[in-house]
Structure 1
């Protein structure tokens, strides 16, 4: 299969040895309707598959710890630290993964990043048995972090394929399809535990799937020659205040999703005495619903504005967290589980709305600079693509913070209540930041100069 017919002229194959599309202008409606949408959707499908398996491998150790009974000699704090290290590496590698797309091409890097998932999978297959040292388990958990990087490269790649008016839906679907790798891994683990299988059986399922994902990416995906490596864009994104504001807000949504995904089963086991099988029966539900609703968050943001959806989503997340605190103090497992699952759903919704805000913010920055048409669109794509890796990396670090907070809370008071109080306060801060930066109207009576300068801020309410 070739990419011929996907652009007005057949795509050229460069000396980089891949399949490259030389012309790509998704904002041109004629081009998009005739050829662009078909190609973009095809790349989206196989990008989602690779990212999906990447998420599964990234969260592998949140499942592995359920298999690690007393014979492994690990305390709950040890297990929380294991999953924290996987979260940390997954966050850090998102930065280089973002820029790898522009260096190697989206298709080429998807092949490489998918194949790299074999390293942590095979390593875990070899060492997963009682008697293995804790440091060895720690190294294997850190290796699994490479799966977290697939999200950043995938989002950067798909961001370039779709027009601004479709980005909320496309990025939400891409990320949601990847996020769903978390509950799928947990469901497969449930089946393995239920059948009295060991962790090596679980890994035996995923190793061939990794190979299949890499092969399908090679056969059906494309590189965009228009995505040239632009170190200037990276520098501009670092200097841009909105990059760090959105990174902070993304800690509250995606940081919550991935942190809770790693910790949910351990919290149920440690605080409520659930067995591995009992915990596995429940832990997949929250990540599953949170993943499925992420495209809905993007769609709502497309329709009503990402800032508005994000603002009220933080109110709902704070309310759900307050219910969890009450349930934790009353030791009510049904209420605790229900509220925790609701918090997963809301974090997924917020994931979609916050990521939709990013391209819209930089598009508005372009308009404020006096740019129009394709020039404005190119500016927006350039900075939003560069910033996504940084935002995704910082957001994922929120997952590290959540797991370390749980670890400290259990060490200090024996429950997760203290951690949830901290999370409630953080969601309140996120609400204030969203309102103050993207929705607050300028006060009446300001000078004409001040009002003029505030106009770009007013438009952020629609991003």
Structure 2
């Protein structure tokens, strides 16, 4: 296919820095899209997914590493390990907002190169310093550096959002998100491979091998991003949109719902193996044989949640997702009290799947909310075209805000587990807390988006 025509840059405008910049990008133009735009967007999507995928793996690397740190060699208690997994979760959530703005500031290709290169820092430091006798403070610092992988999601989503036309954004962003989420399962499979290579004895495994195996992958992804990706000149930041969207009550409501869905997904991804070992008495070997299934199935379920939301409505799918999550969290609580490993597995895997469905349905709700508000305002006499553009502007901003706040939920899951172990020496109180959260999210979803009311937004 022929490449899109590149329009010369206006000489009155300061030129872009050197690099692969596309000045003429018109994805909404069918002729432009068919004559090469689609191929360029698809190429950038593929390599964006690869970079985000590795980013998720490095971000959640400590979900595996803590399983390789026996108490006699590292002096860590279960609550220490939950703190070690809370730190990268929180740092990753914090970085999501600046990473969102970085794409328009530096270019999608350029920032992908930078963000992929930054993954070398936690990988090299952890591979060099993680050994018996290392201080807990050093471990916390190493875990914090792994948080850089959590920011990749936001920059990757912002970049791909700029490449695709509105009619295809849902598909492209769904694939991008699911491909990134699969990085959680990959790092846990890598841990299992390392364990198998060492003969299946966790005490004999060098945990530094896990980040060490990622070093060549990071280098390959960085080089591919430099060679195969592009920057878009027209991409720009709308800081006013971020200020405007945080004043809208729906932004905070959707952030709460995303804490319940994505916060659960990433939080359980960090915690599942630790809980299996601490509560069910499972060995690290057996834990690694199972824990990757949760993130794997949850990632696959994310696009399914978006498809179901398209067909039945995002709010309705989100509502029933929280019903299911509450029921299966109760099943996990019962399994924990009865020491039933089979029920424990079933309950936790179901929580991952439902959280993946909820990730897709809540993200589908965001544009639907602002589209419904735009339609209502236009019916009341407001300019329809202006309202449509405003809806798109605020939707894009809320995707970044909700993504960052939702990721904070992953850190909160670790803190809740840690406090439960500190207070009761088990995780039962944490499960009760999760059930309460899902009940609140259910009630909020019904009251705001599904309850029959004159203020209800149609089509959410």
Q: What is the TM-score with the length of structure 1 in the denominator?
A: 0.91
**Which string of whole-angstrom CA distances, capped at 9 and with x for unpartnered residues, describes residues 226-251 of structure 1?**
22122212211222222211111000
What corresponds to 1:257 in structure 2? 265
Query: Equivalent of 2:403, from 392, 405, 424?
Result: 392
Q: 1 CA distance for matches of 2:251 and 2:423?
A: 35
Structure 1, unpaired ranges of 5+? 443-450
Q: 1:245 to 1:36 in 2, by over 3 A?
A: farther
What corresponds to 1:106 in structure 2? 108
**Which string of whole-angstrom CA distances, capped at 9 and with x for unpartnered residues, describes residues 61-87 of structure 1?**
111111101211111111110111111
What corresponds to 2:439 in structure 1? 428
Whether 2:342 is the aligned partner of 1:347: answer no
Q: 1 CA distance for matches of 2:218 and 2:109?
A: 15
Query: Equivalent of 2:184, from 182, 185, 195?
Result: 182
Counterparts of 1:257-336 in structure 2, within 5 Å, are 257-336=265-344
Q: 1:430 to 1:6 in 2, by over 3 A?
A: farther
Q: 2 CA distance for matches of 1:88 and 1:309?
A: 28
What corresponds to 1:223 in structure 2? 231
Aligned-CA RMSD value: 2.1
Q: 2 CA distance for matches of 1:364 and 1:108?
A: 36
Higher mean C-alpha deviation, range 84-93 or range 432-441 = 432-441
What corresponds to 1:66 in structure 2? 67
Q: 1 CA distance for matches of 2:249 and 2:429?
A: 32
Q: 1:170 to 1:303 in 2, by over 3 A?
A: farther
Whether the aligned pair in 2 keeps the contact of 1:172 and 1:296 (CA below 8 Å) is no
Structure 2, unpaired ranges of 5+? 199-204
Whether the aligned pair in 2 keeps the contact of 1:171 and 1:356 (CA below 8 Å) is no
Using the TM superposition, give the Cα deviation of residue 460 of structure 1 relative to its aligned residue in structure 2, in angstroms.
3.9
Counterparts of 1:342-421 in structure 2, within 5 Å, are 342-370=350-378, 378-421=389-432
Q: SS at 1:436's partner residue?
A: helix
Using the TM superposition, give the Cα deviation of residue 440 of structure 1 relative to its aligned residue in structure 2, in angstroms.
2.2
What corresponds to 1:41 in structure 2? 42
Using the TM superposition, give the Cα deviation of residue 32 of structure 1 relative to its aligned residue in structure 2, in angstroms.
3.8
Q: SS at 1:302's partner residue?
A: helix
Q: 2 CA distance for matches of 1:212 and 1:56?
A: 15
Whether the aligned pair in 1 keeps the contact of 2:280 and 2:336 (CA below 8 Å) is no
Using the TM superposition, give the Cα deviation of residue 372 of structure 1 relative to its aligned residue in structure 2, in angstroms.
7.2
Q: 1:193 to 1:12 in 2, by over 3 A?
A: farther
Q: 2 CA distance for matches of 1:271 and 1:150?
A: 33
Whether the aligned pair in 1 keeps the contact of 2:6 and 2:22 (CA below 8 Å) is no
Whether the aligned pair in 2 keeps the contact of 1:171 and 1:352 (CA below 8 Å) is no
**Which string of whole-angstrom CA distances, capped at 9 and with x for unpartnered residues, describes residues 331-373 of structure 1?**
1011011110011011011111111222232333344443778
Whether the aligned pair in 1 keeps the contact of 2:161 and 2:169 (CA below 8 Å) is yes
**Which string of whole-angstrom CA distances, capped at 9 and with x for unpartnered residues, describes residues 135-167 of structure 1?**
001001001001000011111222233333333
What corresponds to 1:212 in structure 2? 220
Whether the aligned pair in 1 keeps the contact of 2:96 and 2:153 (CA below 8 Å) is yes
Q: 1 CA distance for matches of 2:175 and 2:433?
A: 31
Using the TM superposition, give the Cα deviation of residue 34 of structure 1 relative to its aligned residue in structure 2, in angstroms.
4.3
Using the TM superposition, give the Cα deviation of residue 393 of structure 1 relative to its aligned residue in structure 2, in angstroms.
1.1
What corresponds to 1:137 in structure 2? 139
Whether the aligned pair in 1 keeps the contact of 2:2 and 2:35 (CA below 8 Å) is no
Q: 2 CA distance for matches of 1:119 and 1:148?
A: 14
Q: 2 CA distance for matches of 1:33 and 1:375?
A: 28
Q: SS at 2:134's partner residue?
A: coil
Query: Equivalent of 1:172, from 171, 174, 180?
Result: 174
Q: 1 CA distance for matches of 2:106 and 2:372?
A: 29
Q: 1:280 to 1:352 in 2, by over 3 A?
A: same
Q: 2 CA distance for matches of 1:109 and 1:381?
A: 24
Q: 2 CA distance for matches of 1:271 and 1:225?
A: 53
Using the TM superposition, give the Cα deviation of residue 421 of structure 1 relative to its aligned residue in structure 2, in angstroms.
0.8
Q: 1 CA distance for matches of 2:372 and 2:17?
A: 35
Count the aligned residue pairs.
446
**Which string of whole-angstrom CA distances, capped at 9 and with x for unpartnered residues, describes residues 183-239 of structure 1?**
100001001011114223222210111111111112222222222122212211222
Q: What is the TM-score with the length of structure 2 in the denominator?
A: 0.92
Whether the aligned pair in 1 keeps the contact of 2:328 and 2:350 (CA below 8 Å) is yes
Whether 2:132 is the aligned partner of 1:121: answer no
Whether 2:458 is the aligned partner of 1:459: answer yes
What corresponds to 2:201 in structure 1? none
Q: 2 CA distance for matches of 1:146 and 1:82?
A: 15
Q: SS at 2:458's partner residue?
A: helix
Counterparts of 1:140-159 in structure 2, within 5 Å, are 140-159=142-161
Q: 2 CA distance for matches of 1:172 and 1:229?
A: 22
**Which string of whole-angstrom CA distances, capped at 9 and with x for unpartnered residues, describes residues 416-463 of structure 1?**
111011101110111111122222222xxxxxxxx5xx3xx43242xx
What corresponds to 2:452 in structure 1? 441
